[in-house]
Amino acid sequence: MFENLTDKIDKAFKLLKGQGKITEINVAETMKEIRRALLDADVNFKIAKQFTDTVKQKAMGQNVLTSIQPGQLLIKITKDELTELMGGFKTEINLSANPAIILMSGLQGSGKTTFSGKLANFLKSKKGKKVLLVAGDVYRPAAIDQLHVLGSQIQVDVYSERENKNPIQIAENAIKKAKSESYNVVIIDTAGRLAVDEQMMNEIERVKKAVNPHEILFVVDSMTGQDAVNTAKTFNERLDFTGVVLSKLDGDTRGGAALSIKSEVNKPIKYVSMGEKMEAIDVFYPERMADRILGMGDIVTLVERAQEQFDAEEAKKLHNKIAKNQFSFQDFFDQIQQIKKMGNMKDLVSMIPGVGKALKDVDISDDSFKHIEAIIQSMTPKERDKPDLLNSSRRKRIADGSGTNLNEVNKLIKQFEETRKMMRLMADKDKMAKLMRAMPNMKK
């Protein structure tokens, strides 16, 4: 996400490093490079210039030239302004009504149907809502099928009328059903439409008027940059939408849409969406996104995702096992499954401050754990629980059964034993304290 923009901004700040003295001239040069980086990311020229002028003005106002750490102060000012540019703070979706009606809008191919499924899953699993998805794209039978498939995956009901070609009637009938059957939220998926298609724009305006939605979300493909912003302006003039969704953030995203859209339409970005997995949706936090753009990671989101996946009771049991040196390959396998549920591996790594930047050119696949899983699954239940049983003949059998080689099996077992020792040491507070006290004497 935003790799090129992050790299270019990082290079711009490097202009200040190694300088004996930071002057107004090299601050201006840094801002010039940041403006170029924003323009390359497809940010509107007026917004890019206004942004860098504001940062420079604030830097001079806070006496950045005589600061003890002027480089860090300039980065902080830049981060604060990036946060403000993207909205300043997170904006919650309006779920106060019962049922709350959410109308989806956007161009063809922007990811509306997939996002409708993700949002339904998010509201069901995180907010405890009973959700009804409505198939309002009457022009594309595949869209109706897709919504039913997604609904089945996440166990959310889908309302559709395949023979009815009137999206207004379908939406009204769905809301009647929602009210009579106590649904908390109704999400109406609609057909993709071009802003210049007057007939289609009139249609969605009529849907809006008929159902009086509490939220109108405009889903925008992040990869389309400034074009997305221009389209958003036209849709907003017709629909006066309440929020923006940035989809396909895992693609070759230059960042223009995320950085420009709030300034252009004065509507908050409410969600971001990455990939096809139904869990791949996040509430939009401007400050966290600014951190990621500046290569500072996003440890808060990483911790939140971990907390969602790891059960407190299970964590306690695991801690006791580690303390008693009973952590097994089965426990290791279970932890891998939990980590995989947290999301795309490269996205997770990018949230760790410093690590994402260091590994930006490394291909981190979601299949990274596959050979480890294959080796563990080739063990018998007894071998998984008692790793000490793994003699040479058993290891050879496991290598053959997992499609790996003996060297890979030996390497995994060795790494597992070292990990187990370290985990046990960290679980034992007394031993850990002794080790910390002994460390200053180790060089002697």
* CATH number of 242's domain: 3.40.50.300
207, 77 contact by CB (below 8 A): no
For residues 241 and 105, what is the distance between their CA atoms, to the nearest angstrom?
A: 9
For residues 299 and 291, what is the distance between their CA atoms, to the nearest angstrom?
A: 10
Q: What is the DSSP letter of 441?
A: G
Find the CATH number of the domain harbouring 64.
1.20.120.140
Q: Is residue 10 a part of any domain in this protein?
A: yes
Tell me whether residue 133 is exposed, middle or buried, using C-beta atoms within 10 angstroms of its C-beta: 0 to 12, 13 to 18, 19 or more: buried
Q: Is residue 94 a part of any domain in this protein?
A: no
Helix (H, G, I), strand (E, B) or coil at 133: strand
Residues 317, 321, 327, 330: is their CA dihedral positive or negative?
negative
User: Nearest-5° angle of CA 154, CA 213, CA 202?
Assistant: 110
Is the link from the previous residue into 381 a cis peptide, with omega within 30 of 0? no
411, 398 contact by CB (below 8 A): no
Structure token digits, residue 167: 């999206």
At 364 the pLDDT is 54
- 289 and 148 co-located in one domain: yes
For residues 52 and 392, what is the distance between their CA atoms, to the nearest angstrom?
A: 64
Q: Is residue 298 a part of any domain in this protein?
A: no
Find the CATH number of the domain harbouring 361.
1.10.260.30
For residues 75 and 81, what is the distance between their CA atoms, to the nearest angstrom?
A: 10
- 208 and 138 co-located in one domain: yes
- 237 and 307 co-located in one domain: no
- 196 and 321 co-located in one domain: no
Structure token digits, residue 319: 């801690």
Last residue of one domain, picked from the residues 293, 321, 343: 293
Label residue 5 left, alpha or beta by phi (over 0 means left) and psi (-120 to 50 means alpha). alpha
Last residue of one domain, picked from the residues 293, 314, 338: 293
Complete DSSP assignment for 225-256 = THHHHHHHHHHHHHH--SEEEEE-TTSS--SH
Structure token digits, residue 93: 């979706």
Q: Is residue 73 a part of any domain in this protein?
A: yes
**Pairing mode, strands 269-273 and 281-283:** antiparallel
Expressed as residue numbers, the domain containing 58 is: 3-85
- 120 and 193 co-located in one domain: yes
At 309 the pLDDT is 57
- Short-list 304, 365, 310, 366, CA closest to 334: 310
For residues 136 and 17, what is the distance between their CA atoms, to the nearest angstrom?
A: 55
- 138 and 185 co-located in one domain: yes
| Long-range Cβ contact pairs of 196-204 (< 8 A, separation 24 or more) | 201/238, 203/167, 203/168, 204/103, 204/105, 204/238, 204/239
- 169 and 316 co-located in one domain: no
Contacting residues for 213 by C-beta, under 8 A, at least 6 apart: 101, 102, 103, 188
Number of domains the chain is built from: 3
408, 371 contact by CB (below 8 A): yes
- 138 and 165 co-located in one domain: yes
Length of the chain: 444
- 115 and 250 co-located in one domain: yes
- 252 and 385 co-located in one domain: no
pLDDT string in tens for the chain (444-residue length): 566 677 777 777 776 665 545 677 777 888 888 888 888 877 888 888 988 888 888 877 666 656 556 667 777 888 888 888 888 888 889 998 889 999 999 887 788 899 999 999 999 988 999 999 999 888 888 889 999 999 999 999 999 998 888 999 999 999 999 999 999 999 999 887 777 778 888 888 999 999 999 999 999 887 776 777 778 888 888 889 999 998 877 655 566 777 778 888 888 999 988 877 888 888 888 888 887 777 665 455 555 555 555 566 666 676 677 667 777 888 778 777 776 766 666 566 555 554 455 445 555 555 667 888 899 999 999 999 888 899 999 999 999 999 989 999 998 888 888 877 776 665 555 554 554 455 445 444
Q: H or E element: which one contains 219?
A: strand 215-221
Q: Is residue 134 a part of any domain in this protein?
A: yes
Q: Is residue 95 a part of any domain in this protein?
A: no
- 158 and 195 co-located in one domain: yes
Q: Is residue 410 a part of any domain in this protein?
A: yes
At 299 the pLDDT is 53
- 253 and 326 co-located in one domain: no
Contacting residues for 86 by C-beta, under 8 A, at least 6 apart: 258, 259, 262, 269, 284, 286, 289, 290
Look up the pTM and report it: 0.66
| Strands laid side by side in the 131-136 sheet | 157-159, 131-136, 185-190, 100-106, 215-221, 243-247, 269-273, 281-283
Last residue of one domain, picked from the residues 264, 293, 322: 293
Q: Is residue 48 a part of any domain in this protein?
A: yes
At 343 the pLDDT is 62
